[in-house]
Amino acid sequence: MTRELSKTYDPSGVEPRLYAWWEQRGFFHAEPDGREPFCIVIPLPNVTGSLHVGHALDHSIQDALIRWQRMRGANAMWQPGTDHAGIATQNVVERQLAAEGLSRHDVGREAFLERVWAWREQSGGLILRQMRRLGASCDWAREAFTLDEPRSRAVREVFCSLYEQGLVYRGNRIINWCPRCRTALSDIEVDHADEAGELAYLRYPGSDGGPGVVVATTRVETMLGDTAVAIHPDDERWAPLVGTSVSLPLMERQIPVVADDAVDPAFGTGAVKVTPAHDPNDYDIAQRHGLDVVDVMTDGATISANGGAYEGLERFEARRRIKDDLAALGLLVRVEPRTHPVGHCSRCGTVVEPRLSDQWFVKVGPLAEAAAGAVRDGRTRFVPERNAKGFLDWLEHLHDWCISRQIWWGHRIPAWYDDDGGVHVLRVDPTSEEVAARGLRRDPDVLDTWFSSALWPFSTLGWPDDTPELRTWYPTSVLVTGYDINTFWVSRMLMMGLHFMDDVPFETVLNHGLVRDRHGKKMSKSFGNVIDPLELIDRYGADALRFALLRASVPGLDVPLAEEWVEGGRRFANKLWNAARFVLLKLGDVTPAAGLPPADTLQLEDRWVLSRLAATRAAVDEALAAYDLSRAARALYHFVWDEYCDWYLELAKLREDRAARQVLAHVLDVAVRLLHPIAPFVTEEIWRALTVADDDTSLMRSAWPALGSGHPDPDAEAQMQALQEAVTELRRFRADHALAPSDRIDVVAVADEASRAVLAAGVDGISRLAGVGQWTFAAGSPQQEAVGKLVVSGAELFVPLSGLVDLEQECDRLRRELERARAELGRARGKLANPGFVAKAPQQVVQAERDKTVGWQATIDKLTAQLDELGC
């Protein structure tokens, strides 16, 4: 390992080499052992997807946590894998077929599935390869796929168990139907959006020739399937009609008028048409009153044979026709514009049709109750905590989960039917002889994708077998995901985990936000504001992207991202790199292994930087423990750049002693370790040079800096602050007078005893950083006529105005200072003038204000005197 580094950091040369080395050395792999476990299962990406910035954020957080825990000594395992993504993947392959003019039915089930598998072979796992570019330290040997054999076994076991326990059932119920995908959907696969529509008032004449009733509807075409009209039992307007019947126009059907509590008398006319086959409320009403159920829609959302003359019409065309026909009959009373929520298939956007259908369901009541209990009593907690509230509300209002899908790509439901209508749910596939002998037909449907992903935290660890992995890593530690899939996925994992493992699947749910563009806008192809993470990695490096994402990721809030922020990440990596170059130049044969020098050989800046390092280390630990990656990133950025580089390295340039070398090496070592979870590549490369590491030694395997063994040193911090103040004031003086860097200024310092000692010790440093030529101490102000005066705490610094500077500018400068001091004094006095403040505020707060008054008054006096002396 060479200790020489190139002038600028080149991520493209470093990252692939280090990643390949890490992976080949097996540094990502974990085996069950006795150490404290730490486990994250990846929010499984779609098998055919590619990496977008949302993944990059999600994975950066997880990798940071895993790397941190691994360094802490935990047995950290990051479980990777992919999801077969039923409808989404099937749709992609169906589109490919469509391009050839074929439908899936043309090729048949077997051939179609072969084609999906082939496509999965070809494009599957791309995202996992791309994750490596980001530096993701997944345990690749454990890669899983929701449709592989071990996971399929878990799915069958879960389905059959739930069926036996009565928690999975087959039922004829109203479900959401996508007429384009031609499958049932669960409630959460339907996106609701308010759309402009119409509320049409229809008259159904009385069977007795009377006026009948007027009903209101936004879906006129469903009237073909009406089997009743319902009114509220207390609604006096319509009371006389209850028990009579009305005539359903166009269908010439006589339908009863019933009274039901579910009707809202305030809506429309107070009378509601009842279409049991196409509306869940209506279905319930039909159940209560024993009404007929007439399905007037086909799988493709055209009107079925039950729709009489309208058979074959597309549903919206039918809506228009029926409205026209009713109008012609004088039965369309009126039409009002109305915006109302319309459900769309979350996969293809088609308007969803509520429809009565035979499907499989999970009875979620008991499962949801258990999940809610686990969240309520904190066995699983949310970060940020507030997200638990919405989650619990949602759990409370859950309907049973429709899990069967009329598609082919997925886990086939292990149910068979015999000729007598009997259902056989079987763990093991019956042989062909049995099938023939018993006349069994297999259920053609597959399971909702989320059914298999619900098992992910334990199916990946070997369940239903009792494996060492399961015993070690279940429950997993933290689930890192966007708040947008808490309902889809987190809820289901909680339910299944609690039910089958008798324990929560994860202790913490860390919700991050969505990645947005620089103006907080959602990224979308149509806006043209989509950022490609791989391109950013190419241009700026993975560390830069990770840093930009993590620095912006406050738990629960969205993350804005723009190229400049990533550029900032690259600059930081380069800054660190160059700090390391400098340190290595200074170091000679010293390495961090030398440890810290004896306390009595430490200079002020040594003690200061060690104190700041200790504070940073504590802040990073605290932030990471709270899953606040942003705070950790900001603390490290500030320490490395503003403290270590801007002050310590500058002061170290004056030093040649061994103590300085040891401190330089130690601080860089610790800083690089603390930063490794966030920026793994540049830190590894630096660390290997710094420690002269061999091929078996990686920063990944080094120890996390211990908390509590720091060097807090308030005295050093206070003294250093005084030196920094002197330097800053002198620099400001130079800037105000536009002095060239080569111009030295002389300083005569008048200081009280304590300040004099501090300044005297720091003269070399101050001089270097502020371009001071000659520094002397004096008992009183110098006799020269024209001097500049800088007031710092505990001292006055006089600078002879030896032709270098303009007297007028100096007067301006002093007046600005005076103005500032007066403002501060006014503020402090104002507070003290308030009797309530003096009486009720804590003593030290009041005293601090009194001290300020005295200090600012002294400053004002000095500045006023100086203005006088210069004749301003």
Partner RNA sequence: GGGCUCGUAGCUCAGUGGGAGAGCGCUCGCCUCACACGCGAGAGGUCACAGGUUCAAAACCUGUCGAGCCCACCA
Distance of closest approach, residue 861 Cβ to RNA, in angstroms: 16
For residues 400 and 440, the answer to whether their CB atoms sit within 8 Å is: no
Nearer to RNA, 467 or 857 (CB): 857
Distance of closest approach, residue 204 Cβ to RNA, in angstroms: 13
Q: Which of residues 281-310 bind RNA (CB under 7 A)?
A: 281
Pattern 695-734, binding to RNA, x per CB under 7 A? Answer: ---------------------------------x--xx-x
Considering only 16, 32, 265, 430, the residue that binds RNA (CB under 7 A) is: 265
- Here the tokens at position 346 are 């979350």
Q: Does 267 bind RNA (CB under 7 A)?
A: yes
Q: Does 279 bind RNA (CB under 7 A)?
A: yes
**Pairwise CA distance, residues 465 & 414, whole Å:** 20
Read out DSSP for 568-630? HHHHHHHHHHHHHHHHHHHHTT--GGG-PPPGGG--HHHHHHHHHHHHHHHHHHHHHHTT-HH
Stretch that binds RNA, among 453-461, 630-638, 657-665, 700-708 (CB under 7 A): 630-638
Nearer to RNA, 574 or 611 (CB): 574
Stretch that binds RNA, among 249-257, 451-459, 573-581, 756-764 (CB under 7 A): 573-581
Considering only 21, 27, 169, 837, the residue that binds RNA (CB under 7 A) is: 837
Helices and strands per DSSP (H, E), number in the chain: 29, 29
**Pairwise CA distance, residues 484 & 457, whole Å:** 19
Nearer to RNA, 77 or 689 (CB): 689
Distance of closest approach, residue 186 Cβ to RNA, in angstroms: 9
Distance of closest approach, residue 533 Cβ to RNA, in angstroms: 17
Q: Which of residues 170-209 bind RNA (CB under 7 A)?
A: 187-188, 191-194
Integer Rg of the chain from CA? 37
Query: Given the DSSP bridges, would you call strands 381-383 and 506-512 parallel, antiparallel or unpaired?
Result: parallel
Considering only 827, 850, 864, 865, the residue that binds RNA (CB under 7 A) is: 827
Among 184, 191, 174, 186, which residue's Cα sits nearest to residue 225? 174
Q: Does 397 bind RNA (CB under 7 A)?
A: yes
Nearer to RNA, 803 or 835 (CB): 835
Considering only 432, 839, 868, 871, the residue that binds RNA (CB under 7 A) is: 839
Q: Does 564 bind RNA (CB under 7 A)?
A: yes
Distance of closest approach, residue 518 Cβ to RNA, in angstroms: 5
Q: Which of residues 398-457 bind RNA (CB under 7 A)?
A: 399
Among 660, 664, 516, which residue's Cα sits nearest to residue 579? 664
Considering only 280, 373, 430, 464, the residue that binds RNA (CB under 7 A) is: 280
Considering only 158, 649, 750, 863, the residue that binds RNA (CB under 7 A) is: 649
Considering only 126, 239, 335, 645, the residue that binds RNA (CB under 7 A) is: 645
Q: Does 565 bind RNA (CB under 7 A)?
A: yes
In 3-state terms, what secondary structure has residue 724?
Answer: helix
Distance of closest approach, residue 459 Cβ to RNA, in angstroms: 25
The residues, ordered by sequence, that sit 6+ positions from 18 with a Cβ below 8 Å of its Cβ are: 680, 681, 684, 685
Q: Does 529 bind RNA (CB under 7 A)?
A: no
List the strands of the sheet with 168-178, edge to edge. 183-185, 168-178, 353-362, 401-402
For residues 361 and 402, the answer to whether their CB atoms sit within 8 Å is: yes
Considering only 60, 217, 245, 755, the residue that binds RNA (CB under 7 A) is: 217
In 3-state terms, what secondary structure has residue 268?
Answer: coil
Instruction: Tell me, by CB under 7 A, how many residues bind RNA.
Output: 94
Q: Does 168 bind RNA (CB under 7 A)?
A: no
Considering only 31, 114, 164, 393, the residue that binds RNA (CB under 7 A) is: 393
* DSSP for residue 428: S
Q: Which of residues 460-519 bind RNA (CB under 7 A)?
A: 484, 487, 516, 518-519
Considering only 241, 552, 675, 795, the residue that binds RNA (CB under 7 A) is: 552
Nearer to RNA, 131 or 828 (CB): 828
Distance of closest approach, residue 506 Cβ to RNA, in angstroms: 20
**Pairwise CA distance, residues 587 & 398, whole Å:** 64
Distance of closest approach, residue 856 Cβ to RNA, in angstroms: 6
**3-state class percentages of the chain: helix first, strand second, coil last, to nearest 5:** 50, 20, 30
Nearer to RNA, 440 or 654 (CB): 654
Q: Which of residues 845-864 bind RNA (CB under 7 A)?
A: 845, 852, 856
Query: Given the DSSP bridges, would you call strands 559-560 and 515-516 parallel, antiparallel or unpaired?
Result: parallel
**Pairwise CA distance, residues 751 & 782, whole Å:** 13
Distance of closest approach, residue 210 Cβ to RNA, in angstroms: 21
Q: Does 578 bind RNA (CB under 7 A)?
A: yes
Stretch that binds RNA, among 319-327, 472-480, 571-579, 857-865 (CB under 7 A): 571-579
**Pairwise CA distance, residues 55 & 481, whole Å:** 9
Q: Does 525 bind RNA (CB under 7 A)?
A: no
Nearer to RNA, 442 or 768 (CB): 768
Distance of closest approach, residue 594 Cβ to RNA, in angstroms: 21
Considering only 14, 263, 367, 542, the residue that binds RNA (CB under 7 A) is: 263
Q: Does 52 bind RNA (CB under 7 A)?
A: no
Distance of closest approach, residue 512 Cβ to RNA, in angstroms: 11
- Residue type for 734, please? R
Q: Does 9 bind RNA (CB under 7 A)?
A: yes
Distance of closest approach, residue 647 Cβ to RNA, in angstroms: 8
Q: Does 363 bind RNA (CB under 7 A)?
A: no
- Here the tokens at position 373 are 């209990």
How far lies 666's CA from each of 580, 583, 615, 802, in Å? 12, 10, 15, 44
The residues, ordered by sequence, that sit 6+ positions from 703 with a Cβ below 8 Å of its Cβ are: 71, 73, 673
Cross-strand bridge partners of residue 775: 747
**Pairwise CA distance, residues 587 & 658, whole Å:** 9
The residues, ordered by sequence, that sit 6+ positions from 310 with a Cβ below 8 Å of its Cβ are: 221, 224, 250, 303, 318, 321, 322
Distance of closest approach, residue 340 Cβ to RNA, in angstroms: 4
Nearer to RNA, 74 or 636 (CB): 636
Considering only 394, 430, 743, 857, the residue that binds RNA (CB under 7 A) is: 394
Using the structure block, give the residue that is written with the tokens 């500018």.
809
Considering only 253, 641, 794, 809, the residue that binds RNA (CB under 7 A) is: 641
Helix (H) or strand (E) holding 728: helix 714-736
Considering only 72, 151, 581, 661, the residue that binds RNA (CB under 7 A) is: 581
Q: Does 47 bind RNA (CB under 7 A)?
A: no
Q: Does 794 bind RNA (CB under 7 A)?
A: no
SS (H, E, C) 615-667: HHHHHHHHHHHCCCHHHHHHHHHHHHHHHHHHHHHHHHCCCCCHHHHHHHHHH
**Pairwise CA distance, residues 720 & 400, whole Å:** 66
Q: Does 35 bind RNA (CB under 7 A)?
A: no
Nearer to RNA, 396 or 418 (CB): 396
**Pairwise CA distance, residues 445 & 411, whole Å:** 8
Q: Which of residues 752-791 bind RNA (CB under 7 A)?
A: none
Q: Which of residues 79-108 bind RNA (CB under 7 A)?
A: none
Nearer to RNA, 55 or 631 (CB): 631
List the strands of the sheet with 441-442, edge to edge. 423-425, 415-417, 441-442
- Here the tokens at position 740 are 């060239």
Helix (H) or strand (E) holding 58: helix 53-72
Q: Does 109 bind RNA (CB under 7 A)?
A: no
In 3-state terms, what secondary structure has residue 521?
Answer: coil
